[in-house]
Amino acid sequence: MIELYDNLILHPKFLDDAQLFLTLNKEIEWEQKYIKRYGGTIPIPRLTSWYGEKAYTYSGIENKVKPFTSTIDNIRKEIENYYEIKLNSCLANLYLTGKDSVDWHSDDEKELGSNPVIASISFGETRIFSIRDIENEELKYEIPLDNGDLVIMMENFQSKYQHAILKDKKITKPRINLTFRHIV
């Protein structure tokens, strides 16, 4: 376990199991969601699926609840037990290639409470997890996340930083990312 800075923990190879990508990809009910932007509705550049106990809306995208798959629930429990945190929901993201992305944002929806803890684990292709300071956007960090790597954004991280998975034309293989959180 390595604490990088200011409420961000990187745990390399937390679950280093090459089969988890294949299992998750089969179990997860992937959906193409749409967002209102630029005067119209466009597809978000990745596939997603929402699991857990409560519904969740972000960026105007409504996510209806599906019960945890056994694999997602087992991963959730391992993270909870190791880090002694409470997680009751999961946004699954499938980035098919480097054309898929998530733009700069903070997870600061009111359903997450005032100081959310978010655990994000990646499977498949390595992607760069980009971080920038909210007050000084020139202050940026890039962390390559490999298969099985876990990042935990602890309390106060969302109020100080934004994060993103930016487009990368060199990436040709898929990545699954599970972002666990606690919906209040």
d(CA 41, CA 33) in angstroms, rounded, equals 10
Specify the pLDDT at position 3: 64
Per residue in 168-184, pLDDT tens? 999 999 999 999 999 98
d(CA 16, CA 149) in angstroms, rounded, equals 8
Query: Is the pLDDT at 21 greater than 90, yes or no?
Result: yes
DSSP designation for 168: -
Of the pLDDT bands very low, low, confident and very high (cuts 50, 70, 90), residue 104 is: very high
Task: Judge contact between 141 and 153, C-beta under 8 A.
Answer: no
d(CA 177, CA 57) in angstroms, rounded, equals 18
More confident residue, 3 or 47: 47
Query: Is the pLDDT at 82 greater than 90, yes or no?
Result: yes
Task: Judge contact between 116 and 107, C-beta under 8 A.
Answer: yes
Per residue in 109-144, pLDDT tens? 888 888 899 999 999 999 999 999 999 999 999 999
DSSP designation for 31: B
Query: Is the pLDDT at 68 greater than 70, yes or no?
Result: yes
Torsion of CA 61, 63, 64, 68, to 10 degrees: 170
Q: What is the mean pLDDT of the chain?
A: 92
Specify the pLDDT at position 87: 97
Per residue in 55-66, pLDDT tens? 777 777 777 889
Task: Judge contact between 121 and 103, C-beta under 8 A.
Answer: no
Specify the pLDDT at position 129: 97
Task: Judge contact between 29 and 66, C-beta under 8 A.
Answer: yes
Specify the pLDDT at position 146: 96
Helix/strand/coil percent split, the chain, to 5? 15, 40, 40
19-28, 31-40, 42-51, 95-104: the lowest-pLDDT one: 31-40
Specify the pLDDT at position 4: 65
Specify the pLDDT at position 35: 83
Q: Concatenate the DSSP letters of all residues of 111-164 into one string.
A: GG-SS--EEEEEEES-EEEEEEESS-TT-EEEEEE-TT-EEEE-TTHHHHEEEE
Specify the pLDDT at position 1: 60
d(CA 15, CA 150) in angstroms, rounded, equals 8
